[in-house]
């Protein structure tokens, strides 16, 4: 592995980080128990020299302060690139009360802030008071994202060093307030406290109190779980639907009382989904319907990706549907061959090129291959929007948009005949 210690970028970064690390130690704790985390866009991290260089700079800075260091660097998390450093020295008994009190203060302040907003919150609007709301379109620009200089001990860094349980519990809530607040916003599905409804704030207060009572549950909540290739992350929040509504991803109807839930926050360019039906939460990848696979093609193409990752079950479903399409349809044979190769390859995930995925959807639509009403709705809408991105009937000039995703969002939002997909927006991390 390359050594970064003498790299001028690493040396400069370490110099800049030292005061931040010093500041990250609880006041009056003798410089013990510090931790620091940086979240960056993946591309931004590469621009700074890459995750290993940033990690080396953090290590270098921490050692200057006498820390016994553990670091972690994760690329491609739903927060982008995450680099964290933590002082693992045992806190001497004399500083322990200060350290514990500092942690308590931070978490209590987060709860108080949510509770305070609760009392000042405007009355809920009739359209947003139910737990199931029409998802917002477009990226949530107003959501406080983990700032590059946000400091927090992070559960991932705790996980990396695998400290004993008591240490994890003590450390788990040592998160900076904005970070805890953001978790709570995620939990209640509100872009900010000010925009949360009474019901959402009640959810958040109950949850914050539960995390305080049992910090281990917060640790579990914030630790990115390993996801099987082709599988799904666990929902961050589930509850019975408070009213009749529909799934934010697949648009299937959901009756009051049925289980709904929310997925972890995705990274850009994907936008957060609101409440999903139980099938989309747990089964859509392991037991996919044709509609799930078609939605997968839609959202990956939407995000600008040149490939669509499909697991074995999804390849099987798409392959079987294409078998019902006349073989002479353009590109269908090529798509079938690619899928067959995927099946033969026996890998948990194959990457189908966007070109063939789009051709497959167009062919399925032309052959009316969807067999149930829900499948027909989704397939028709997906085929329509994919084709709009191909010829742009609204005449929106791509050059007026910062990137292709924003342009596609605009084309989708301005579609002449709204569909279940244009009502939902995207792209979603499916
Ligand atoms: Zn669904």
Per-residue confidence (pLDDT) for residue 250, from 0 to 100: 97
Tell me how far the alpha carbon of residue 317 lies from the centroid of ligand 1, in angstroms: 17
What is the Å distance from ligand 1's center to 200 Cα?
21
Determine the angle formed by the axes of helices 51-64 and 8-23, rounding to 10 degrees: 50
- 280 CA from centroid of ligand 1 (Å): 4
Distance 425 CA to ligand 1 centre (A): 14
Q: What is the pLDDT of residue 99?
A: 82
C-alpha of residue 241 to centroid of ligand 1, in Å: 13
CA of 293 relative to ligand 1 center, distance in Å: 12
Distance 256 CA to ligand 1 centre (A): 15
pLDDT of residue 150: 35
Q: Residue 279 C-alpha to ligand 1 middle, in angstroms?
A: 6
Average pLDDT over the chain reads 79
Determine the pLDDT at residue 169. Answer: 37
CA dihedral 401, 405, 410, 414 (to 10 degrees): 150
CA 289 / ligand 1 centre spacing (Å):
11
Q: From ligand 1's centre to the CA of 385, what distance in Å?
A: 19
Cα of 283 from ligand 1 centre, angstroms = 10
Q: What separation in Å is there between the alpha carbon of 276 and the centre of ligand 1?
A: 5
* CA 284 to centroid of ligand 1, rounded, Å: 8
Residues counted in the chain: 430
Distance between Cα 349 and ligand 1 center (Å): 22
pLDDT for the residue numbered 160: 32
> Ligand 1 centre from 291 Cα, in Å?
10
Give the model's pLDDT for residue 178.
56
Which token pair is 240? 């019975």
C-alpha 67 – ligand 1 centre gap (Å): 48
pLDDT at 167: 36
- Cα 38 vs. chain centroid, distance in angstroms? 17
Q: Could you give the dihedral angle defined by the CA atoms of residues 112, 114, 116 and 119, in that order, rounded to the nearest 10 degrees? A: -140
Ligand 1 centroid distance, CA of 168 (Å): 35
Q: What is the pLDDT of residues 358-383, one digit of tens each?
A: 999 999 999 999 989 999 999 999 99
User: Which candidate, 82, 83, 102, 94, places its Cα nearest to that of 34?
Assistant: 102
Q: What is the predicted pLDDT for the residue at 318? A: 96
C-alpha 299 – ligand 1 centre gap (Å): 14
Low-confidence ranges of the chain (pLDDT < 50): 117-172
Compute the distance from residue 235 Cα to the ligand 1 centre, in Å: 13
Task: Look at residue 386 in the predicted model and tell me its pLDDT.
Answer: 95
Q: How far is the CA of 278 from the centre of ligand 1 (A)?
A: 7
Distance of CA 297 from the midpoint of ligand 1 (Å): 15
pLDDT at 420: 95
Mind listing the pLDDT tens digit for each residue in 75-130?
A: 666 566 778 888 888 889 899 888 878 777 766 666 666 555 444 433 333 333 22
């Amino acid at each position: 592995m390359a050594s970064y210690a003498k790299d001028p970028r690493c040396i400069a970064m370490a110099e800049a980080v030292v005061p931040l690390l010093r500041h990250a130690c609880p006041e009056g704790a003798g410089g013990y128990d510090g931790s620091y985390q940086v979240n960056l866009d993946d591309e931004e991290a590469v621009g700074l020299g890459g995750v290993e260089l940033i990690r080396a700079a953090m290590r270098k800075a921490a050692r200057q302060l006498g820390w016994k260091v553990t670091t972690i660097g994760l690329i491609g998390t739903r927060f982008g690139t995450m680099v964290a450093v933590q002082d693992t020295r045992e806190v001497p008994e004399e500083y322990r009360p200060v350290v514990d009190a500092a942690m308590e203060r931070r978490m209590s302040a987060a709860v108080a802030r949510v509770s305070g907003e609760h009392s000042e919150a405007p009355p809920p609007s009739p359209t947003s008071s139910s737990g199931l709301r029409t998802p917002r379109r477009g990226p949530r620009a107003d959501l406080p994202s983990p700032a590059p200089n946000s400091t927090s001990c992070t559960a991932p860094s705790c996980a990396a060093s695998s400290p004993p349980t008591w240490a994890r519990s003590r450390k788990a809530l040592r998160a900076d307030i904005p970070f805890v607040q953001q978790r709570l916003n995620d939990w209640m599905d509100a872009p900010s406290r000010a925009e949360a409804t009474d019901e959402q704030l009640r959810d958040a207060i109950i949850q914050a109190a539960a995390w305080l009572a049992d910090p281990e549950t917060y640790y579990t909540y914030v630790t990115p779980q390993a996801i099987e290739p082709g599988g799904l992350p666990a929902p961050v929040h589930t509850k019975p639907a408070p009213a009749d509504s529909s799934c934010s991803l697949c648009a299937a109807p959901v009756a009051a009382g049925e289980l709904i839930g929310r997925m972890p926050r995705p990274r850009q360019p994907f936008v957060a989904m609101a409440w999903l039906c139980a099938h989309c939460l747990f089964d859509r990848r392991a037991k996919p319907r044709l509609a799930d696979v078609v939605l997968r093609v839609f959202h990956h193409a939407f995000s600008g990706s040149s490939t669509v990752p499909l697991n074995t079950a999804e390849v099987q479903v798409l392959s079987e549907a294409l078998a019902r399409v006349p073989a002479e349809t353009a590109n269908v044979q090529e798509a079938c061959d690619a899928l067959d190769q995927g099946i033969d390859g026996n890998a948990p995930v194959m990457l189908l090129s966007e070109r063939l995925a789009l051709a497959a959807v167009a062919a399925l639509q032309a052959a009316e291959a969807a067999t149930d009403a829900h499948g027909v709705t989704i397939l028709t809408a997906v085929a329509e929007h994919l084709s709009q991105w191909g010829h742009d009937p609204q005449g929106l000039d791509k050059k007026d948009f910062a990137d292709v995703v924003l342009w596609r969002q605009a084309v989708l939002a301005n579609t002449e005949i709204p569909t279940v997909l244009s009502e939902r927006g995207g792209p979603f991390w499916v």
